A and B are shown apart, each in its own frame.
Chain A
Amino acid sequence: DAKTTQPNSMESNEEEPVHLPCNHSTISGTDYIHWYRQLPSQGPEYVIHGLTSNVNNRMASLAIAEDRKSSTLILHRATLRDAAVYYCIRRNAGGTSYGKLTFGQGTILTVHP
């Protein structure tokens, strides 16, 4: 797993959408984009992942650029519980990585009431 670039911090208001960007300009064809988040005093939790197409689940949406050099995690209506550190991670789907992940510094999301 190799590096991604994220802003150090972002702020949002409650019930507004949040777009968290991630740059991965050297991504290879077999790398997936994974997002995790870490709430205060908890371990990281999986949010979503994708390869080329946009993905949706109950927690968030993931929009991946056509050239795959960047992606955006979208929280459609931020709540106070979404305040966390969000990590964008490149993950190679091949080889024998055994699932290990390399975490960067992530983006600290602050949500204002």
Chain B
Amino acid sequence: DVKVTQSSRYLVKRTGEKVFLECVQDMDHENMFWYRQDPGLGLRLIYFSYDVKMKEKGDIPEGYSVSREKKERFSLILESASTNQTSMYLCASTTRAGNNSPLHFGNGTRLTVT
């Protein structure tokens, strides 16, 4: 079974801090994604990556950056955390082999910015 592991289940940070959210997948998937999930707004795509060192903006990239130095790891970076970035963050991965390959999600990191 594919496993997508997010490093922290819960995280509390202060406004202005630099925050790193880490995601690792163990199935050699090419494509990786970061979503955030908020009540009433559903899941929204922040960034995705289709290869090492490659990244593309999603629907809400402002205030975020990403890093993909190794195929199995995709990091989401909040350069200067703000309270409106308090959210559930979900990482996902999928193989490039066919656009119908299912996405595999981690269990999320609930980030609170105070």
- Residues of chain A whose beta carbon lies under 8 Å from any beta carbon of chain B: 32, 34, 36, 41-46, 49, 91-95, 97-106
Q: What's the Cα separation between A102 and B102 when bound, in Å? A: 13
How many whole Å from A12's CB to the nearest CB in chain B? 22
**Other A-B pairs beyond A36-B103, A43-B108, A45-B105, 8, CB < 8 Å:** A41-B108, A42-B108, A44-B103, A46-B104, A92-B99, A93-B99, A100-B45, A103-B35
Q: Is the CB of A44 within 8 A of B105?
A: yes
Contact A46 B99 (CB under 8 A): no
Tell me if B31 counts as interface (CB < 8 A to partner A).
Answer: yes
- Docked complex Cα distance between A98 and B105 (Å): 15
**In the complex the two chains form, is A99's CB within 8 Å of B105's CB?**
no
Other-chain contact of B105, A43, A49, A91, A93 (Cβ < 8 Å): A43
Query: A100 is contacted by which of B4, B58, B102 (Cβ under 8 Å)?
Result: B58
Asked whether A98 lies within 8 Å of B31 as measured between CB atoms, the reply is: yes
- By the criterion CB–CB under 8 Å, are A99 and B31 in contact? yes
Q: How far is the CB of B23 from chain A (nearest CB, A)?
A: 11
Q: For residue A44, which residues in chain B have a CB less than 8 angstroms away from its CB?
A: 43, 90, 92, 103, 105
What DSSP secondary structure best describes chain B's contact surface?
A: strand
A24 to B7, CA, bound (A): 37
* Contact flag A99-B101 (CB < 8 Å), given A44-B90, A105-B42, A106-B42: yes
Q: What chain B residues lie within 8 Å of A105 (beta carbons)?
A: 42
Q: Which residues of B contact A43 (CB under 8 A)?
A: 4, 90, 92, 105-108
Task: List the 8 closest A-B pairs by CB distance, nearest first.
Answer: A43-B105, A46-B102, A103-B43, A99-B94, A98-B50, A93-B99, A99-B31, A98-B31
Contacting A at CB under 8 A, from B1-37, are 4, 31, 33, 35
B84 at the binding interface (Cβ < 8 Å):
no
The answer to whether the Cβ of B56 comes within 8 Å of any Cβ in the partner chain is yes
On chain B, the residues within 8 Å of A91 by CB distance are 99-100
A44 to B4, CA, bound (A): 12
A-B contact pairs, 10 of them (CB 8 A): A43-B90, A44-B103, A49-B102, A93-B100, A98-B96, A99-B101, A100-B31, A103-B42, A104-B42, A106-B42
